[in-house]
Amino acid sequence: LMTPWTMQSYLHTTFSKTTLDFDEFCVFMKHFRRLEFQQYTKTQRFNKADLEEMSAVFKRYCVQHDTIGPQGFLRFLRDLGRMPADRDGLRRVRHMVNEVRGPGCELEFVQALRLLRLIDQAGMSFLPPPVVPEAPLIDNGTICDLDLGQKEIEEEFGQACREFVIDIIEQAFDCSHFEVSTLFDMFTARDEDCSGDIDLQELQNIMMDLGFEPRQ
């Protein structure tokens, strides 16, 4: 991707020196990630149409800094027709995410592409993509907009998705399972429109649930 010689050449051409301050280091890393993305898409043989579709779906669920969280990643997989069809598949994907992600629980686009390739190579069976993109992922423990045939199966799969999200956040932030699962259930309960986001009023409701009264 970048040899010591090409690195030295880049530094000399771009900065006219071989030492970097922090701002210059950030510029270098931006260039490096662009090269990494170009190299990865070339070696993994994603065609232009695939990349455009994946990029559009990824941006649909971006949070901040062009990244997606664990629930956004599940939506990303679902909308691309790569949602594992059973709990074992979700467990395998969860391990893949924990191997690929960096600090924190969010994924960059190139990491999502790497995971897609790993998932495609794993020989899993997938659920069909939803009829309506951007549909909520979990509503009261049930996967939305997916007809799996039986309510019990849908509820079991919804629980598996809940465990997926909680486990990744728990490991990323070194919190207890009880803390994360409690907060996740409070968030889900107060996300009244099942959008996957909470507005200011819903956030205030959560804080009141936790015992914090708003000041007048």
Q: What local confidence, expressed as pLDDT, does residue 40 receive?
A: 61
Q: What local confidence, expressed as pLDDT, does residue 195 receive?
A: 67
Q: Any idea which residue has 């559009």 for tokens? A: 56
Long-range interactions of 100-106: CB distance < 8 A, separation 24+: 101/168, 101/172, 103/172, 104/172, 104/173, 105/69, 105/70, 105/168, 105/169, 105/171, 105/172, 105/173, 106/63, 106/65, 106/67, 106/68, 106/69
pTM, two decimal places: 0.61
The pLDDT averaged over each successive group of 10 residues in the chain (216 residues) is 67 78 78 69 70 87 79 86 85 87 80 88 83 53 46 64 82 80 83 74 82 67
Q: What local confidence, expressed as pLDDT, does residue 145 receive?
A: 45
